[in-house]
Amino acid sequence: MTAYLLDWVNLLGRWVHMITGIAWIGASFYFIWLDNSLETPKSAADSEKGVSGEVWSVHGGGMYHAQKYRLAPATMPEHLHWFKWEAYTTWITGMFMLALMYWYGAEIYLIDPGVAELSKTAAIAIGIAVIVVGWFAYDKLCESDISKNETTMAAILFVTLTLIAFGLCQLFSGRGAYMHFGAMLGTIMVGNVFFVIIPGQKDLVRAKEEGREPDPIHGIRGKQRSVHNTYFTLPVLFVMISNHYAMTYGHKYNWLILIVITLIGALIRIYFVARHKGKASLTPIIAAFILLAGLVAVVAPQQSDRLSVKLSGAVDIDSIHKIVTERCSSCHANTPTQPGFQAAPKGIVFETPEDITRQATIIHQQTVVTKAMPIGNLTAMTDEERASIDAWFVQLK
């Protein structure tokens, strides 16, 4: 019953996280577009009352006229909408899912003895430290004089993220490393909203209510953090779906794949942000597709990836059935015996020789090519057993 209830908690947590994430990212993308699409006001009266830009748009059967003030209108409106709870709820549900899956279930999803021998306490502590320290380090960097040079700032961020990706992949399972990398970026994004953007907006409102001149620094800082957030968005979205693709997190160069995809996501956003302003150079988008094509080629299974282990016995379906039953069927069964699993992951069952033969490609990909399964190698599958699966799979072809 506990595993069943955890499945429901997991489902509802993911659902709410996805819903609020869509709301946050949608609003973020819209306002980045809006900011970059503003035109000089046509009316002199609008300019005189402080309007710095405007844009007309059509959607859902209606026409909209959006205007942006240089700071704020002379009289504050009665109703002012704040875009903040989309971000906060996304982070709260995301951290809930991280704690449920990767901290509560650390021995399954976070710790891989083949990568590093960590206790559950140590692994969780490292994960939390990376997220917390990541935010504070980033925040201090933004407050320093370095942030005044966008190129230098971007270079330092990229190098730092590369080192973090590498370090995480030397400590955690591929899935755990990717998720903590994404959680760190997500925390930076929500930290920007909570500690910088919203406080700056509140000070602007207070200034107008108190009849004093608003401090323009809040708008400058808020714009900087908002732009950073839009560049982090696509890498974070990739991390959210990455656990379905062992070819990435299960690769021996998983840290490099992670940072290249992070770069690809940032380049795509760079292009679209520029595109909102009008005609944009195709260089960022071309570079992104070149990197993606190169990644697809490099990650593709190679003949050299085959395990060169001397086998001690014959390789046939009976021997493979025995290996899979011992190493995989505790999870992939109609009634899993592995604690924490109410049903077979993705509904994939390996109970009969026919089940195994029918799903030979999946078994080979996950146990030999990526070595992502058994998850965290909980059942201690040996290299000889992986080599037996490899040899058997080659015979089937």
100 shares its domain with 131: yes
263 shares its domain with 377: no
Q: What does the alpha-carbon distance between residue 185 and residue 217 come to, in Å, rounded to a whole number?
A: 24
266 shares its domain with 350: no
279 shares its domain with 311: no
Q: What residue numbers bound the domain in which 317 lies? A: 305-396
Q: What does the alpha-carbon distance between residue 297 and residue 292 come to, in Å, rounded to a whole number?
A: 9
Task: Please report the pLDDT score of residue 61 as a whole number.
Answer: 85
328 shares its domain with 290: no
Of 244, 268, 299, at which residue does a domain stop? Answer: 299
Domain count of the chain? Answer: 2
Q: What average pLDDT does the structure give for the chain?
A: 91
204 shares its domain with 272: yes
279 shares its domain with 312: no
315 shares its domain with 216: no
Task: Identify any residues that bridge with 58 across adjacent strands, giving them in sequence order.
Answer: 63
- Each residue's pLDDT tens digit, 44-102: 999 999 999 999 999 988 999 999 998 888 888 889 999 999 999 999 999 999 999 99
Q: What does the alpha-carbon distance between residue 45 and residue 47 come to, in Å, rounded to a whole number?
A: 5
Task: Please report the pLDDT score of residue 313 as a whole number.
Answer: 63
In a domain, 49, yes or no: no
117 shares its domain with 199: yes
- Each residue's pLDDT tens digit, 286-329: 999 999 999 999 888 766 555 566 666 668 888 889 998 899 98
Task: Please report the pLDDT score of residue 310 as a whole number.
Answer: 64
For residue 271, give every residue at least 6 positions away whose Cβ sits within 8 Å of its Cβ, in sequence order, or none: 280, 281, 282, 284, 285, 288
Tokens at residue 145, please? Answer: 């004089």
Task: Please report the pLDDT score of residue 217 as a whole number.
Answer: 87
Check if the beta carbon of residue 87 is closer than 8 Å to that of residue 95: no
In a domain, 48, yes or no: no
Mean pLDDT of 249-268: 96
Of 268, 299, 330, at which residue does a domain stop? Answer: 299
Tokens at residue 272, please? Answer: 């679209």
- Each residue's pLDDT tens digit, 192-215: 999 999 999 999 889 888 888 888
Of 284, 299, 314, at which residue does a domain stop? Answer: 299
3-class DSSP state for residue 66? strand
Check if the beta carbon of residue 383 is closer than 8 Å to that of residue 307: yes
Q: Is a pLDDT exceeding 80 seen at residue 16?
A: yes
Q: Is 170 left (phi over 0), alpha (psi -120 to 50) or beta?
A: alpha
142 shares its domain with 280: yes
309 shares its domain with 294: no
Task: Identify any residues that bridge with 63 across adjacent strands, giving them in sequence order.
Answer: 58
Mean pLDDT of 334-346: 83
Task: Please report the pLDDT score of residue 87 as a whole number.
Answer: 96
Q: Is a pLDDT exceeding 80 seen at residue 345?
A: yes
In a domain, 11, yes or no: no
